[in-house]
Amino acid sequence: MKPIVQISLDLTNIDEALETAAMAMRAGVDWLEAGTPLILAEGLHGVRKLREAFPDTPIVADLKTMDGGYLEAEMMAKAGATHVVVMARAHEETIKCVVQAGKDFGAEVMGDNLACPDMVAGARRLEDLGCSYVIHHIGYDERRGIAAQGHRMPSPLDQLREVVEAVSVPVQAVGGLSLEQAIQCPDYGAPLVVLGAPLTIDADAFKTAEGDLEASLRLICEKIHGKNS
């Protein structure tokens, strides 16, 4: 699979999200993600607005579904999402329902192993239950909490190779990656590179980061896409 660059729109305002998305597309980003903060703030309206503005671009709805899987996936797919996210720690039936809704409404399912006691086993479970992608995810609160206790902040790169080797579906690493680490992800066998907090979004304020973001994104996209050339 060729490397794909996805930007996580972890914003709480649809106008800012649309502006950031347009900038990201100019810079060479492949996929847009309606991040969880955006979905909480704008709901289906936000996904619809993204679809209207970018009719041919894959859109990931980061629902982090834990229950009511079929309905949530159906609603987001009908609003224009091409990918929906279900959690590995959800009940098996919930994951199956999301997968079935994906088949019924034309959305692919990404399974997220956030907070699994065994991250590798969680990834395998997601693939076994029908997810088309695995998100290997170290959470925002987990990273900050462990760091606040004076310990080394965990990184998705710590077990990324193990997760990649455990599944046959494409893997995405998420959780506090630096620019350099994000660019390295395809070298670990994880071709889906997500750019979000703290790379392109202010991690504390959940607003677009300062600086020449478009130029930085363009450089990142060129480096990532060049890994398969």
**Chain segment 111-166, per-residue pLDDT in tens:** 999 999 999 999 999 999 999 999 999 999 999 999 999 999 999 999 999 999 99
CA-CA distance, 62 to 15, in Å (whole number)? 18
Q: Which CATH superfamily is domain 4-228 in?
A: Aldolase class I (3.20.20.70)
Q: Domain locations in the chain?
A: 4-228
pTM, whole model, 2 decimals? 0.93
Burial of 229 (0-12, 13-18, 19+ CB in 10 A): exposed
Per-residue pLDDT tens over the stretch 81-122: 999 999 999 999 999 999 999 999 999 999 999 999 999 999
pLDDT level of residue 229 (50, 70, 90 thresholds): very low
Relative orientation angle of helices 213-225 and 14-27, to the nearest 10 degrees: 50
pLDDT of the residue at 179: 80
CB 6 within 8 A of CB 193: yes
Classified as helix, coil or strand, 9 is: strand
Choose among 42, 44, 84: nearest CA to 65.
84
CA-CA distance, 166 to 169, in Å (whole number)? 9
Query: Which residues pair with residue 202 across a beta bridge?
Result: 207
CB 197 within 8 A of CB 180: no
Per-residue pLDDT tens over the stretch 33-65: 999 999 999 999 999 999 999 999 999 999 999
Tally DSSP H helices, then E strands, for the chain: 9, 10
Q: Does residue 68 register a pLDDT over 80?
A: yes
